[in-house]
Structure 1
């Protein structure tokens, strides 16, 4: 067959210059769409050459592998141009100065003078590594937002690369346009010298534009005179013409303009798409004819020759995890064994044969898979962290390892809790096992920087997160491009309900009308899921034995001291599964509860001298009663509405029970109602059944219901004779998306193996169906136990040291389900006294403060200074911000503030900050600083005074306040106005609840309080109202909305079914204060209102004021979850 033609006689072609939507806000098609279209067109190969990034090449490579298309890795690199001094006579460019040269080579419309584009393709592994090095250098040179490399750097790293002269923004194209062929000759000669004649090609485009012919003629002249080949490319920015309009949109977003005003920013037509070989042959018919039998002069056939040379694939990548430092004479295995044996004497002092066998088995697997050094690296990280007083916990499957337990990496004994090692690691898995470490959020950065220091910045980087457009962001940006105001665009975006199956469809039906709606919805749909920007993964970090630039570029992150890879965790999974390249991602995660526990430990140590630890922590048995009563606000993993519904019915009495609660309230198990079946079976409301007697040991803990992934493995081992490692691979195969044929083959094999072991066909198929149905949602037992451990630690701390615990929670916000106002009101219900913010008593964070106890009947205090309260910190005041901290702490360091005027002079706070402090009462009792009045007692007058004093500037003398300020007569703030001010400025009112002031209105509407609902009869029609603190509409709940509402007596939950939600959608989503009506549902201690009606809580005259009130509490918003 003629190499020039495909099987059907059509001209073959390889596209060597194409962009995906990873050319952020430039390309408008995904890598997968580009591959699909290239395959449909019959292209021989496709090169993705995104702007200054390799972000999309993994997905591109995987899609091409599936389609059987040759994938060529490339980039369009930004070059920083400068004056060039010719080394050979006759190659000068006349009297062009350096300044003129930079100006002449600036891209059209580009504000960065002296940059141009160059298309680079990786011919070999060496070339690919040079691409990575060039990109790393580009980001170091130009920064994250404007990467570029000087020509000299490019020339040093040209080996293994094929260079195309680029689009009209290339240096050659710009120079020809401005200075003609002689200057263009000089530019091309420089690139020919850098890359070699056989590796530098002149790029030709034809997009139906008026200047195409003249530009290509000039390029062809340069190629002929220098003996260079020409190559035809499309500079494709989308896969077909249907995405051209979206390309206009993203171009406008990039330039911050509208379609109406975009002008020359937009491409003139829809020709920047992929084209078939036949189309390219027609476009370049004259060039092909002129070439005759010389393939090097045929720009279409040249693409095939270049593609044939580009042999690099992602399969060629080589990565090695770094080796640990070892004591002299030790191997990694011997050192690991010694550490495990030493730990065994501590954690298993009376080790049984079972313990010895388990540790021996794990060490043998570690040796077989070469994991000893890998585990020792994690050991070093944990040891260093603990040496710095940083708490460390572990999640995922790693707590199933007895080796890690003996080395002190996890506080959970895997043998005691039947955690299966093969869920963590087995010979059948062709990858390193995951080890996920948790650190306090405020100290995790110390660990990350330690790793950078230890391994070197060229050898470590964070994994990226690809942030994509969602419906709201797409609508907001597209609407502005279409000419809507920013306010209107934001309002449209805010109207979308992310819980809707088709929020954009609702937008078309309800919020916009006519042709504009169709265009907005269509373009927004196209934009959804497109990359918007890159950020840092929550904790994924890669370290390497060789410089990472041998595998991937390293990009500076926006966060100081961080670098990031251009690939996310999904890319790393694809690299492993498709290309057998295993970049090891260490997950160094931030856990807010660890921060709170650590701070609480510090408080306890200060108060009692006792230093608590995660390892060996003893739970208070009384906490189980609190869990059974759903008294869980502020507790780790058990504070959600779903947990508060589950716990009273489950009635946990030990760590294993709490772990089941943690595992059952998850999207997967919840969708399968696993938790509901377990509860009913536990208390005899549903028969406990097992598919076969042999499976009772595996399923006894959960009453015959599959909950844990480990149970899936055990069932496959017992029933089908798989090894534990094979069974884990079976579980993984069933939990991933597979074709129908693949799933049928997996299931058929399992059934066959069970029948071979004596099961009848019906039993075998029922077990197989149970495992298949379970595999997609099962939760790892090894993950649940460490979380249950932290849940019980948090519950014990709250019970024994409530002031210390709530203070720690406040200082770790935001975290968890509840806002500070709910946590503080819960603290109040638990007997904790909370003192208000005050400039002379508060630190920046909330602190513990000794107080006199409440007086007894005769008025005498008992046990003076033996009681503790929480003193709210200034960080709680909205409007101060972190920038005010340094000024406040520096001013307070010299002593208390003697007056308001003194505060103004020493902190130099502006009017807004001072008025915030006055509104929340933080200046109460502080002298005004003049000679006519005493201490400040009224907040409104104080707020006015501070604002006036701030207006006098830095030269004002405190003692002259009475001479400079003429005060009007202002009515004092009412109690209700003070509560409103505190909610607006603090988010809550210490010691007072807003709903208490609105109770008369609720009483008039015959509404119950939260604490009285449980005393009513099941099914009774009730009303209750309060502050909405949480909305949740899980995907697995079939459109049901769950509300948590707070009043002055506690919390209550409400359930809104989909038809009711559709009818009441606007009030349920838009109002913060609600009255709800519906039948009461009581079930084993849980209370819900099944909502039928809802309306805003809008009293006219709340208690304590005669002024009208709209019912809004500014500064209070619910936490909305999916």
Structure 2
């Protein structure tokens, strides 16, 4: 497009990262800037810098110069002064980074605002502005800026003083008075005053438009976005709005038409853009420092610890396999240590080993490995993983490629209950909130969510909005556009009902915008110096320190992230071992477990794997029965094979038939047999592709990893180069070209489905451990499973059914025997009190404490001894209805009928006991003058009522089931139940049975 007007640059723009306020997507912003002939553009989101790196990268690719900024909130007094009056005087101020120092100062200001000055909004003050002003250009902002607000209130002398203060803070040429053409009446008055102030005080003007949405037509959608933010409807007379439709991304022509007579206001946007030069270093890793003892370097200490660990491991390996060839271990450990040190990763390994060691010493279960790290002998030696990589044929280069410097990625699974303690340890040891932070993530206005949010803002009846939201197909990340294509009913409703048509049009503008910031479930970053030197920080809802950049952006600027994942199954394993110990059993050492246990394989072959990690889905159970695993390698293969690609390609059928001799295992070349023999000639693992490339085509392991990576990306140009390289290497080793081509075709086809064997082996070990525990300690294992799902009705129902299948009786909750969790009572399991609805942990603690004085003999005894402020009527009624008071002798109907009397009796006793006057006398006679109520004589509820109340209290039935009497009929006429229904294929014909209650 040819432009006849001079250039202009937008310096005040709110993107999608001004959460629930900005509605401009970064991609659309850059496209519009290009369309308007603007070679530069700024982003200035409210109080945060969430989108800075995404904007910087995308702008660079689009050929637009990015200007990094933020619209800050300035407190009228000290940022620590959080009196309510402060927010009335909260002022906006636009800050732009002129250079790298300015970027760092902007990060520091955004961080201070979050961590020290937050009060409804992230705030800074003029003192910290003065301290961190270098390299920053400031604009006086919108009508909420201090100077425009004072002008609008006719406090002109104070406005002059404020302007002089900002001019003094930022210096000549770095503070500008911001004029806007936003269509708001008072803005005209402010603009004239700013023009006059500019002439009087010699402070330059700059024109902006405070852009919040891309097009003028989006103003209404933006107003609705503000309603979502404030929880109001658009029809609420006092809902927050801007009162104009002019805050869109205006063209050069529009800005020149409005501000052509304002001296320098337009030209200054261009000069500021030229002066703003910030860059990011995407090539340098910023490794955290590990403090070593005795003045050793990190490399020296790393080598020492790795060799110490290796010597311990090799001793155990030799005890287990006396004839082992130790030379390959020695060569491997030496090579890995050298590679890790040369790549500068020694400190990283020491830190990971340190927090894993802390976890193990504090009885926090740690997974045996995750991902490709299980392929490292150093990781095994340092205690990071629990698998011998040489024994299981795992490759170091799959984890760390010496020919391609990229960060090692050691993800660690921890017991869910101990993960937070590990977070705290790392934060305390490695520098607190300055050097360590969790990583931010953003929840988005996805299709269903945006329909519900916009529907509320438009005040459409909830049932109508819910019906529309439920029409969205249950497809991951489906868009509104695709929903309308797939759902003709929705299109028809929109055509008939204008309000629904309006709803969907607004949703199409707002869909996908970030809705809120939250804490990433696993990510943690540790830096070599204060994080604000690299990025701004944010305060999470629980007060935790977060990065303002998401995980991808954190990695791109070279910061080192660690993933601490919570794995429920580790909690189940630890709980099972604890229960075995409490029962006086011999606790197995799972780190040195027998991988050839016959009872475990009998369980696996039978498909009896409910509760077994990775192996409990109906499809996996069927595969177990078909495959009949006989060794640990079979379990590794199962974990790798049970995925959509292998299932759809026929690989699984091929593997099963070859294992059982129904199909011959053929090898295209003799060199392939030692590599593929463990999987009967089928390429199952990525590591097999790497070994084939090395053995057949003379690839180094580093180059073979490049081939593996290329297969995963499936980029034609890269694969074409790899094909030529592979065929050339194979033919040079004497393999005929046609066979080389056929082999490459084979590995390209099946290698694309290949899975990371290191990860499969690590997770197969957890699968085996859980199967072992189920086979040998079924009661303790099931009690642990039930406890792990104690807050999930579906989970508890599933595992109670499994207990019944194995003849393990699950006893109802009992006020005299139940603990908080499910407990083992001999060969039975006692229900946990936490699983009872309305019964909180506080009430349970008081019940258990009172029970130490002796069993509860009756409902009245319970109400006398337990604090009724904690265990109130609602709590006790739920306990009665689920059967927890059955052991006291009365029936449930009697106890519910007596509850009011029991509560009154207990409260009177407790009141008398609490009377300070009683301290003057013996307390033995407390309550003697209060008559013990009598339990009414009445029959128990009938079975239907009894079960209904159980379901009310628990969410499911425990002592029976309404369908039990129809069991034979259901077996005869149905082929599914409510659990198996979830695992049926789409379109499959099913028959279920039930009763109307």
Same fold (TM over 0.5): yes
Partner of 1:236: 211
SS at match of 2:607: coil
Match of 1:746 among 718, 729, 746: 718
Distance in 2 between residues matched to 1:169 and 1:716, nearest whole Å:
65
Matched, 1:616 2:592: yes
Partner of 2:554: 572
Match of 2:138 among 163, 179, 189: 163
SS at match of 1:253: helix
Partner deviation per Cα, 1:96-137 (whole Å, 9 max, x = no partner): xx99x997xx8xxxxx32212111111122222222221221
Matched, 1:1056 2:953: no
Distance in 2 between residues matched to 1:721 and 1:191, nearest whole Å:
67
Q: Map of 1:366-445 to 2, 5 A cutoff?
A: 366-393=340-367, 394-445=369-420
SS at match of 1:399: helix
Q: Map of 1:525-544 to 2, 5 A cutoff?
A: 525-544=508-527
Give the Å deviation of 1:918: 0.6
Match of 2:705 among 714, 728, 745: 728
- Identify if the C-alpha distance between structure 1 residues 603 and 527 changes in structure 2 by more than 3 Å, giving closer, same or farther: same
Q: Map of 1:1069-1088 to 2, 5 A cutoff?
A: none
SS at match of 2:620: helix
Partner deviation per Cα, 1:407-432 (whole Å, 9 max, x = no partner): 22211111111111111101233322
Moved more, 305-314 or 989-998: 989-998
Matched, 1:14 2:9: yes
Distance in 2 between residues matched to 1:770 and 1:65, nearest whole Å:
40
Give the Å deviation of 1:486: 3.7
- Identify if the C-alpha distance between structure 1 residues 811 and 794 changes in structure 2 by more than 3 Å, giving closer, same or farther: same
Q: Map of 1:127-166 to 2, 5 A cutoff?
A: 127-143=102-118, 146-166=121-141
Matched, 1:944 2:897: yes
Distance in 2 between residues matched to 1:814 and 1:470, nearest whole Å:
30
- Identify if the C-alpha distance between structure 1 residues 712 and 52 changes in structure 2 by more than 3 Å, giving closer, same or farther: farther
Partner of 1:200: 175
Distance in 1 between residues matched to 2:844 and 2:199, nearest whole Å:
68
Give the Å deviation of 1:456: 2.2
Distance in 2 between residues matched to 1:720 and 1:276, nearest whole Å:
59
Partner of 1:36: 31
- Identify if the C-alpha distance between structure 1 residues 261 and 371 changes in structure 2 by more than 3 Å, giving closer, same or farther: same
Partner of 2:300: 334
- Identify if the C-alpha distance between structure 1 residues 869 and 694 changes in structure 2 by more than 3 Å, giving closer, same or farther: same
Partner of 1:489: 465
Match of 1:125 among 74, 88, 100: 100
Match of 1:582 among 535, 554, 558: 558
Partner of 2:632: 655
- Identify if the C-alpha distance between structure 1 residues 367 and 893 changes in structure 2 by more than 3 Å, giving closer, same or farther: same
SS at match of 2:153: helix
Partner deviation per Cα, 1:156-201 (whole Å, 9 max, x = no partner): 2111111111111111111111134322111111111111122111
SS at match of 1:992: coil
SS at match of 1:542: strand
Distance in 2 between residues matched to 1:480 and 1:417, nearest whole Å:
57
Match of 1:979 among 947, 954, 968: 947
- Identify if the C-alpha distance between structure 1 residues 10 and 769 changes in structure 2 by more than 3 Å, giving closer, same or farther: farther
Matched, 1:80 2:75: yes
Partner deviation per Cα, 1:902-932 (whole Å, 9 max, x = no partner): 3234231222211110101101132xxxxxx
Distance in 1 between residues matched to 2:789 and 2:118, nearest whole Å:
33
Give the Å deviation of 1:686: 5.3
Partner of 1:178: 153
Matched, 1:793 2:769: yes
Partner of 1:864: none
Distance in 2 between residues matched to 1:816 and 1:901, nearest whole Å:
32
Give the Å deviation of 1:963: 6.6
Distance in 2 between residues matched to 1:647 and 1:35, nearest whole Å:
53
Partner deviation per Cα, 1:701-732 (whole Å, 9 max, x = no partner): 33444332323433444455443223323433
Matched, 1:1008 2:971: yes
SS at match of 1:983: helix
Match of 2:327 among 341, 353, 374: 353
Which structure is higher in RCO with an 8 Å CA cutoff and minimum separation 6?
2
Unaligned 5+ segments in structure 1 are: 1-5, 85-97, 107-111, 292-297, 576-580, 851-867, 927-934, 1010-1021, 1031-1042, 1045-1052, 1058-1090, 1100-1108, 1111-1122
Moved more, 676-685 or 823-832: 676-685
Contact 2:282–2:558, Cα closer than 8 Å, also in 1? no
Distance in 2 between residues matched to 1:262 and 1:570, nearest whole Å:
42
Contact 1:708–1:780, Cα closer than 8 Å, also in 2? yes
Match of 1:842 among 818, 824, 829: 818
Partner deviation per Cα, 1:761-795 (whole Å, 9 max, x = no partner): 76555555555556765431111111111111111
Contact 1:122–1:312, Cα closer than 8 Å, also in 2? yes
Distance in 2 between residues matched to 1:973 and 1:779, nearest whole Å:
57
- Identify if the C-alpha distance between structure 1 residues 364 and 1093 changes in structure 2 by more than 3 Å, giving closer, same or farther: closer
Matched, 1:910 2:887: no
Give the Å deviation of 1:659: 1.4
Matched, 1:548 2:531: yes
Distance in 2 between residues matched to 1:819 and 1:999, nearest whole Å:
22
Distance in 2 between residues matched to 1:384 and 1:407, nearest whole Å:
13
Q: Map of 1:260-299 to 2, 5 A cutoff?
A: 260-261=235-236, 265-287=240-262, 291=263, 298-299=264-265
Contact 1:144–1:557, Cα closer than 8 Å, also in 2? no
Contact 1:712–1:771, Cα closer than 8 Å, also in 2? yes
Contact 2:152–2:186, Cα closer than 8 Å, also in 1? no
Give the Å deviation of 1:391: 1.8
Match of 1:996 among 964, 971, 980: 964
Distance in 2 between residues matched to 1:673 and 1:164, nearest whole Å:
64
- Identify if the C-alpha distance between structure 1 residues 487 and 360 changes in structure 2 by more than 3 Å, giving closer, same or farther: same
Give the Å deviation of 1:518: 2.4
Partner deviation per Cα, 1:1007-1035 (whole Å, 9 max, x = no partner): 426xxxxxxxxxxxx63353x136xxxxx
- Identify if the C-alpha distance between structure 1 residues 264 and 756 changes in structure 2 by more than 3 Å, giving closer, same or farther: same
Give the Å deviation of 1:233: 1.4
Aligned length: 956
Match of 1:1092 among 969, 989, 993: 989
- Identify if the C-alpha distance between structure 1 residues 173 and 828 changes in structure 2 by more than 3 Å, giving closer, same or farther: same
Partner deviation per Cα, 1:1060-1080 (whole Å, 9 max, x = no partner): xxxxxxxxxxxxxxxxxxxxx
Contact 2:877–2:896, Cα closer than 8 Å, also in 1? yes
Contact 1:401–1:414, Cα closer than 8 Å, also in 2? yes
Moved more, 432-441 or 513-522: 513-522
Partner of 1:591: 567
Unaligned 5+ segments in structure 2 are: 319-324, 911-925
Distance in 2 between residues matched to 1:778 and 1:56, nearest whole Å:
36
Give the Å deviation of 1:829: 2.0
Contact 2:974–2:990, Cα closer than 8 Å, also in 1? no
Contact 1:241–1:270, Cα closer than 8 Å, also in 2? yes
Give the Å deviation of 1:1094: 4.5
